[in-house]
Structure 1
């Protein structure tokens, strides 16, 4: 399956909001600053990251499979956040694809050399994805509920632009 990253458009946020079932899921995905329920039309403003970027993972023009963001913590460190895969698309390796494409875009756009993220300790699927991408746990920055993870990126510096606006193949 060929997937790509693109900037989200207004209609995408209605789809993404349908993936968030309740207040607990909302807090785990977006943090305590996003109150549930929320107006999907307000999500572009509510989820804005500065400096950073929001992307959707899609197959073709209409099939939205995931959403993710990165923000710059420092000039050379991208922080992945608000990663979500559509419920019907989970278990197909798309989380890893989405994160890989987000990291590649952060390298291309900002020349980052490292990345960080937070993940709930009770989310073994996400932890495995991140470990598979080279992220390691940093206990000193973690809490009993949430792990801080960090990765050095081997592709630091300006990279070749992603083909077809971020096209990738996932099996």
Structure 2
């Protein structure tokens, strides 16, 4: 059994992460409108910096890069997962769910959040299935025709 772990992203990771983004459409869907494509991978640490949050790489026991994701404090008590991506060669192996579970745990521990939010494109059933299986539920009040907001309430010991 391979042990998966999160580690903080470092500058050397961003060349690989940048190579996972093949075109402007994929870039916009992954990083949002603030990251223009093409981009210089060496600038990604600055361009993707999140205030009150963190960037993490999914890997096997400190080797290789299997995925990347971020969280940021959205408001007191709520963290938001963002820029979640699995390396193209590692897709289809359940790593997206592992990445999200580890990010949820890390974000909850680091911020004592009571809730986690994320956005998913409505035309991405694979991502929607992952998030639903983790307990996220749709929040139509913050959604639009293209993007669905989802929310997970965290259980804290009493």
TM class, shorter-length = over 0.9
Aligned residues: 157
TM-score (norm 2): 0.96
Q: Map 1:64-143; keep pairs closer than 5 Å.
A: 64-143=65-144
Deviation of 1:156 (Å): 6.9
CA contact (8 A) 1:113 1:156 kept: no
Give RMSD over aligned pairs: 1.2
Question: Could you say which structure has the greater relative contact order, defined with CA pairs below 8 angstroms and 6 or more residues apart?
Answer: 1
Distance 1:81 1:60, change over 3 A: same
1:78-120: CA deviations, max 9, x gaps? 1000000001111111111111111111111111110101100
Please state whether the residue corresponding to 2:39 is helix, strand or coil. coil
Deviation of 1:139 (Å): 1.4
- Tell me the residue number matched to 2:7: 6
Unaligned runs of 5+ in 1: 158-171
TM-score (norm 1): 0.89
CA contact (8 A) 1:68 1:82 kept: yes
The yes-or-no answer on 1:42 pairing with 2:35 is: no
- Tell me the residue number matched to 1:32: 33
1:30-63: CA deviations, max 9, x gaps? 0000000001010000000101000000113331
Unaligned runs of 5+ in 2: none
